[in-house]
Amino acid sequence: MLAPLYPLARRALFCLDAEQAHHLTLATLRGAASLGLAGLVGQTLPESPRTVMGIRFPNPVGLAAGLDKDGSCIDGLAALGFGFVEVGTVTPRPQAGNPKPRIFRLPQAEAIINRMGFNNGGVEQFLQNVQSARYKGPLGLNIGKNADTPIERAVDDYLICLEKVYPYATYVAVNISSPNTKNLRQLQGGDELDALLGKLKDKQRALSDRHGKYVPIALKIAPDLDDEQIKVIAGTLTRHGFDGVIATNTTLSREAVAGLPYANETGGLSGRPVFDASNRVIRALAAELGGALPIIGVGGILSGADAQAKLDAGASLVQVYSGLIYRGPELVRECVQALRTV
């Protein structure tokens, strides 16, 4: 099993460029899964089921979007013991993303800065990958807009992706909070958010009738929001009857990593430094929502205690990404065990 060996693997991977290490890791997991060897790199964890958004999750610990943008490694990642897997962000058309280098490790802070820019092969290739996966557990499909789509027409991209991914998703995540696509975060504002969510709900209703099944939609938001912005978002989500909210994406703040190598690189900061900011947003959201819809907590989870803190703040489920880079599969086991008594 890979988990006990991960500290050695990490040492080797951290000798490589961060993006090279990323692709090598996915290729290894993908290869193991395709050869039927997922058990050698994965782990089977005891069930600790939760029902959230009407979905039964075998355990409350999921993989956050961004690690597998093309949905090409679903089986390999699922083998690590996650209760659910979220892949993407996918855009209607293929795009290369931002120039390299675009991922930077900050080991002293157990953090990562990335400015990938929704690099992916487009929704058609994405769906081919999703359909070829053998994984039958809860699968979140995360959608976004192409970089060259004017922000005034962003809703068109989200509607295209929603219609395409709907038949194959357990839930759909709507990413309007990446800092690496120009002007994207302005969609979190009052009038623009209201218009976007209204059109997404209209499309969801039409797709539900067409396909004979209801697929929940969750909105992914940023950690860099003030209390008034959180209040507006919570009210808009409730008014439109959204199914969930994912809090949070990466941060633009550099306060927690000031002076460290790469700290001044542009992009979103993830890992331990975003933990407190994410929890603040979760607590504020929970207070505003009053249980009207569930929160999926993500940001800075590097231990089982961190996962528990997300639930204490008001989340119903958690997701990990950067913590997985630093801790490996053992983090998933530790989080599942920590949350079993909840």
Q: Which residues are annotated as a binding site for FMN?
A: 65-69, 89, 142, 175, 220, 248, 271, 300, 321-322
SS (H, E, C) the chain: CCHHHHHHHHHHHCCCCHHHHHHHHHHHHHHHHHCCCHHHHCCCCCCCCEEECCEEECCCEEECCCCCCCCCCHHHHHCCCCCEEEEEEECCCCECCCCCCCEEEEHHHCEEEECCCCCECCHHHHHHHHHHCCCCCCEEEEECCCCCCCHHHHHHHHHHHHHHHHHHCCEEEEECCCCCCCCHHHHHCHHHHHHHHHHHHHHHHHHHHHHCCCCCEEEEECCCCCHHHHHHHHHHHHHCCCCEEEECCCECCCHHHCCCCCCCCCCEEEEHHHHHHHHHHHHHHHHHHCCCCCEEEECCCCCHHHHHHHHHHCCCEEEECHHHHHHCHHHHHHHHHHHCCC
User: Binding-site residues for substrate, please?
Assistant: 69, 114-118, 175, 180, 249-250
Q: For this structure, is 178 an active site residue? A: yes
Which of 178, 270, 278, 316 is an active site residue?
Answer: 178
Q: Which amino acids are annotated catalytic? A: 178
